[in-house]
Amino acid sequence: MKVKDDVAQLIDKKLEGKLERRKINMMIEEPKHDHMGDLAFPCFELAKLFRKSPVIIASELANKLSAAYIEKVEPVGAYVNIFLKRKEATAQVISEVIEFKDRFGDVELGQGDTITLDFSSPNIAKPFSMGHLRSTVIGYSLSLIAEKCGYKTVKINHIGDWGTQFGKLITAYRLWGNETEVKQEPIKELLKLYIMFHEKAEDDPDLNDQGREWFKKLEEGNEEAHALWEWFREESLKEFSEIYRKLGITFDSEHGEAFYNDKMEQVVDLLQNQGILNESEGAHVVPLEGLPPCLIKKQDGSTLYATRDLAAAIYRQKTYGFTKSLYVVGNEQSLHFQQLFAVLSEMGYSWTEGMAHVSFGMILKEGKKMSTRKGKIVLLDEVLKEAVSLAMKNINEKNPSLEEKEEVARQVGIGAIIFHDLKHHRLNDIEFSLEDMLRFEGETGPYVQYTHARASTLLLKGQFVITNSSGMIEDDQAWPIVKQLMAFSDVIKRSFETYDPSQIAKYVVELSRVFNQFYGSVRVLDDSEYIQARLSLVYSVKIVLKEGLRLLGLKAPEKM
């Protein structure tokens, strides 16, 4: 952001290069209240450098700062508060947005380094439920935000296609399955069998032993077990790909757990050679300081999630050379990832420092976790269909002659579901409520999309043309919009550093709010000489709203 960069350059000059320019830029913040200025620079970190009180430093620095775009500078405690000349700053901000368009707000953090993001990762032979939504949309949004921050991303769908549950499903299919029925509705019938297995296993514990036995056969390459597993996997991937198509989400790798089957023995050998694998009651574990031991192999020789995740991490580092590696997985897996990172650290891998578990809360139904094995789930596909249907109903009521209304209904309906998730801080649980998700007023995706469409319509009606005078706007009502535009890159940076897309969701809602306030108080298309200048502000809002929505995985319709 040039205004902020110019202020940083000015401060850098006055500090005589004793603090990195990039550091200064990162330290400049926006005050909470308008009377405290437009930008603020805290001087706490300068106390050690200059061996003075930060209050004295702020006072001395404030007396030295002056520039054509600065109205006044005030020291307040340890802060230097800077008030900008609104007309000049507005012109600068608008011209910058228009020049850079969708590159406006780009942050130079990654500098081409690679980030791997492991997200979504549903289990095969189960339907894609609302419970899978959070990992999917948080992970995808983070990948877009990371790219905006200069990283190269590798989006990984670590499909759950291995483990004891497949032994249970094979057992259930062999006992009660009907091939014709499964072929007609694969996922629905397989789910029914999976639920039936768990219900019957409560009265017949022998079923669990059969499930374990069939998984062992699958691991050993039994022909029947492998053919059934392959069939279940193929049918599941067809359904998943349809859901991802609707959500507009793509992956760079879909190596599931089974991909690492031939890579796990190497991991076990490495652990043994390094002398960190211990035997405990017939099983193999890695003891960890301050954590429970990490189980690598069970007594019967079968492997676990930890074994596969170790193999996956090592494979990904060798293949992609990542600087950061993010696992977007629910809160309940926190211990697993603490153990995973601790074992990799014990193995001497320095790149473990770049690994992080991006945890999130659950989608609850009536205050309780959704459970596939108990049949308490809500199918995501049904929710998406209902959302699109409601969006179409609204269009038919309010704008029946809208062009391409099926596509707009899809963008708005699916956008409503994604935005409802991402506007919540990821660590919070969300109560499932279709009514709340599909609400089209207030802090919602459709509200932001509608604001973007309103801006597009204004530009069309006003026959907007980009000119050199685009930024010369006289309305004080425009200033809240300009301040929001100035904050865009900071919000992106903060949302990446905290792995929190909700900050961008809140940002686009606030930008929409101040824009609609401006629209309600200023006649944008009146006959004054300022029409094109005002429209340049409208165009800037349209650019940033579209980019903000894109970073959340939403489309921005031109008309609604």
Rg of the chain in Å (alpha carbons): 28
Q: Does CATH place domain 380-551 in 1.20.1730.10?
A: no
2-84: CATH topology = Gyrase A; domain 2 (3.30.1360)
Q: What percent of the chain has pLDDT over 70?
A: 97
Q: Are 439 and 470 in contact (CB under 8 A)?
A: no
Q: β-strands 324-328, 291-297: how paired?
A: unpaired
Q: Of the given ranges (173-177, 369-373, 375-379, 461-465), which has the lowest mean pLDDT?
A: 369-373
Angle made by CA atoms 249, 255, 261, in degrees to the nearest 5: 160
d(CA 232, CA 338): 32
Q: Of the given ranges (110-124, 177-191, 326-340, 343-357), which has the lowest mean pLDDT?
A: 177-191
Query: Which residues, at least 6 apart from 95, have a Cβ–Cβ distance to it below 8 Å?
Result: 470, 471
Q: How confident is the model at residue 475 (pLDDT cuts 50, 70, 90)?
A: low
C-alpha distances in Å from residue 376, one per residue of 223, 265, 544: 33, 37, 40
pLDDT of amino acid 188? 87
Q: How confident is the model at residue 366 (pLDDT cuts 50, 70, 90)?
A: confident
For the segment 297-324, what is each residue's pLDDT rounded down to a tens digit? 888 777 688 999 999 999 999 999 999 9
Q: What percent of the chain has pLDDT over 90?
A: 75
Residue type, 457: T
d(CA 171, CA 309): 26
Read off φ and ψ for residue 124, nearest 5 degrees: -70, 165
Q: How confident is the model at residue 338 (pLDDT cuts 50, 70, 90)?
A: very high
Residue 543 has pLDDT above 70, yes or no: yes
Q: How many residues does the chain have?
A: 560
Residue 274 has a CB neighbour count (10 Å cut-off) of: 12
Q: Does CATH place domain 114-258+320-369 in 3.40.50.620?
A: yes
Determine the average pLDDT of the residues in 130-139. Answer: 95
d(CA 334, CA 355): 13
For the segment 396-405, what is each residue's pLDDT rounded down to a tens digit? 999 999 999 9
Q: What are the residue ranges of CATH 3.30.1360.70 in the chain?
A: 2-84
pLDDT of amino acid 102? 96
Residue 44 has a CB neighbour count (10 Å cut-off) of: 14
Residue 10 has pLDDT above 70, yes or no: yes
Query: Which residues, at least 6 apart from 267, have a Cβ–Cβ distance to it below 8 Å?
Result: 296, 307, 310, 311, 314
Matching residue, tokens 């980030």: 115
For the segment 158-208, what is each residue's pLDDT rounded down to a tens digit? 999 988 889 999 999 999 999 999 988 888 899 899 999 999 999 998 999
C-alpha distances in Å from residue 414, one per residue of 6, 342, 370, 516: 41, 39, 21, 23
Q: What are the residue ranges of CATH 3.40.50.620 in the chain?
A: 114-258+320-369
Half-sphere exposure of 151 (CA within 13 A, CB side): 26
Q: What are the residue ranges of CATH 1.10.730.10 in the chain?
A: 380-551
d(CA 141, CA 29): 24
Residue type, 193: L
H or E segment to which residue 507 belongs: helix 502-521
d(CA 271, CA 516): 60
